[in-house]
Amino acid sequence: MALSGIQIFKMMPKKNCGECGVPTCLAFAMNLAAGKAELAQCPYVSDEAKEKLASASAPPIRTVQIGVGDSAVKTGGETVLFRHEKTFNNPTALGCLIATSESDASVDGKLKAFKELRYERVGLTLKPDLIAVKDAGDPTKFAAIAKKASDAGAALVLISDNLDALKAALAEVGKNKPLVYAATAANVDAISALCKEYDVPVAIKASKVGDLATMSASLMEKGHKDIVLDSGSRDLAELVRDNIMIRRLALEKLYRPLGFPTIVFPCEMADNPVDEAIIAGTFISKYGGIAILSDLKGELLFPLLLQRLNIFTDPQRPMTTEQGIYPINNPGEDSPVLITSNFSLTYFIVSGEVEASRVPSWLLVLNTDGLSVLTAWAAGKFVADLIGPFVKKSGIEEKTKTRKLIIPGAAAIISGDLEEELQGWGVAIGPREGAHIPAYLRQNYA
Ligand code: SF4
């Protein structure tokens, strides 16, 4: 049974020292109860309290890491049913299936796509995460493809019901912590022993959620911490239902055997790539921790990555860019100086248009708490008495002799106040629309 923040607080040291990252033990206890902090962050909890709190304060859905280093992928760790309640934490990991029955050209083509399909979006790199290698009766090739995929920087899922094949692959890539798929009622003891030997996460598969919970509970008793669940269904409606049931039982009833991320296989649920992508999209929204596709095609992967970005972005925190000076097109001491807000979308549109103009420019970005220019102006965050001191302290005067600040056309109303505030500078009103920036810069500053 979960403990409330107050119940947890009663067991805290009450030193209010702040070493856990929040100022008081009460705030820490509340974070612990909400699954937003870990007990280990407080160095002063007594052993007795630790024992009582350890299981009560564990997150309702465990975060499972697959892979190591730069290729590590985290899945699970969710604390809410709906994104608007707080945020979803670990984006659905998207992977591509490679079977040992495929030709070398197909294997190489998929690995090439895995490495090359990268998209820059609002300062983030969107890309696939995993390769799922499936043994189709050739253990030697299975291990060889696993090694190749690992060398390509992929976190791995090793799919086989042949213990010898799994052993061969784990001998090659076990240190990179692949997910072993899957323990079933028929082989659970052997797979459990193998996963414990290599200390790797294990996926379990059953034909009903109830059986899945039984198997999960038995693995937990054996000491497995990192488990991934497959309810076994390959029917869209049933699998959505299973995933919702698993998420609800984990979060609302704190039912530990189902407190793990799920894996789904759109590649086994459709006979064409478009339907497969639609199914993958369904499970990005409905609780798929890992989704395995049959191939990586940019035209289908990119929309999925964008959908994932939207779903797993914190709805309560606008995406922001750091306040500062951004040189674009290698500017010098005579280059124009523009200013905008730090809402990421605004920054990337403006910086993209300035870059497209090919006019060397300095772009100043003011911290407006992630609000766009007009909203920030209305909220008193993009106004003369904040912009003036920022420009003076930013260091731009050491970089350029230019003393004219180009403000967004949408904030033209502040130009008079800004000229008064920003002594020694003139103010020019730039375009209202980002798309008009290249023509404006070329006309006035090229
Ligand atoms: Fe309290 Fe521990 Fe945090 Fe210090 S580190 S404020 S004692 S919870």
Same domain (yes/no): 402, 440: yes
Parent domain of 342: 324-445
* Ligand 1 neighbours by CB, cut-off 6 Å: 12-13, 15-20, 24-25, 28, 42, 44
Residue nearest to atom 1 of ligand 1 (CA): 25
Given ligand 1 and candidates 17, 36, 50, which is best to mutate, with the most ligand atoms within 8 Å of its CB?
17
Report whether 20 belongs to an annotated binding site: yes
Residue at 49 is within a domain: yes
Given ligand 1 and candidates 10, 11, 19, 57, which is best to mutate, with the most ligand atoms within 8 Å of its CB?
19
Residue nearest to atom 3 of ligand 1 (CA): 20
Residue at 125 is within a domain: yes
pTM of the entire predicted model = 0.79
Residue nearest to atom 7 of ligand 1 (CA): 15
Given ligand 1 and candidates 9, 10, 28, which is best to mutate, with the most ligand atoms within 8 Å of its CB?
28
Q: How far is the CA of 199 from the centre of ligand 1 (A)?
A: 32
Residue at 316 is within a domain: no
Q: Which atom of ligand 1 is nearest to the CA of 15?
A: 7
Q: What is the CATH number of the domain that holds 41?
A: 1.10.15.40
Q: How far is the CA of 26 from the centre of ligand 1 (A)?
A: 9
Given ligand 1 and candidates 25, 38, 50, which is best to mutate, with the most ligand atoms within 8 Å of its CB?
25
pLDDT for position 123: 73
Residue 50 burial (10 A CB sphere; 0-12, 13-18, 19+): middle
Contacts 24+ apart (CB under 8 A), 254-257: 254/1, 254/2, 254/60, 255/213, 256/55, 256/217, 256/220, 257/213, 257/214, 257/216, 257/217, 257/220
Same domain (yes/no): 262, 181: yes
Q: What is the CATH number of the domain that holds 411?
A: 3.40.50.11600
Same domain (yes/no): 184, 126: yes
Q: What is the pLDDT along the chain (446 residues), one digit of tens a residue?
A: 567 888 899 999 999 999 998 999 999 998 888 767 888 889 999 988 888 887 666 778 999 999 999 999 999 999 899 988 888 999 999 999 999 999 999 999 999 999 999 998 877 899 999 999 999 999 999 999 999 999 999 999 999 999 999 999 999 999 999 999 999 999 999 999 999 999 999 999 999 999 999 999 999 999 999 999 999 999 999 999 999 999 999 999 889 999 999 999 999 999 999 999 999 999 999 999 999 999 999 999 999 999 999 999 888 777 889 999 999 999 999 999 999 999 988 999 999 999 999 999 999 999 999 999 999 999 999 999 999 999 999 999 999 999 999 999 999 999 999 999 999 999 999 999 999 999 999 999 98
Q: What is the CATH number of the domain that holds 307?
A: 3.20.20.20
Last residue of a domain, one of 56, 80, 98: 56
Same domain (yes/no): 342, 373: yes
Residue at 333 is within a domain: yes
Last residue of a domain, one of 277, 311, 345: 311
Residue at 318 is within a domain: no
Q: Which atom of ligand 1 is nearest to the CA of 16?
A: 6
Contacts 24+ apart (CB under 8 A), 206-214: 206/230, 206/231, 206/232, 207/232, 207/233, 208/232, 209/242, 209/245, 209/246, 209/258, 211/185, 212/246, 212/258, 213/255, 213/257, 213/258, 214/257
Residue at 317 is within a domain: no
CB atoms within 10 A of CB 210: 11
Same domain (yes/no): 165, 267: yes
Same domain (yes/no): 303, 401: no
Last residue of a domain, one of 284, 311, 338: 311
Task: Work out how many domains the chain is built from and give that number.
Answer: 3
Q: Which atom of ligand 1 is nearest to the CA of 13?
A: 7
Same domain (yes/no): 160, 109: yes
Same domain (yes/no): 246, 100: yes
Same domain (yes/no): 112, 75: yes
Same domain (yes/no): 328, 244: no
Report whether 340 belongs to an annotated binding site: yes
Report whether 267 belongs to an annotated binding site: no
Same domain (yes/no): 93, 38: no
Same domain (yes/no): 286, 139: yes
Report whether 96 belongs to an annotated binding site: no
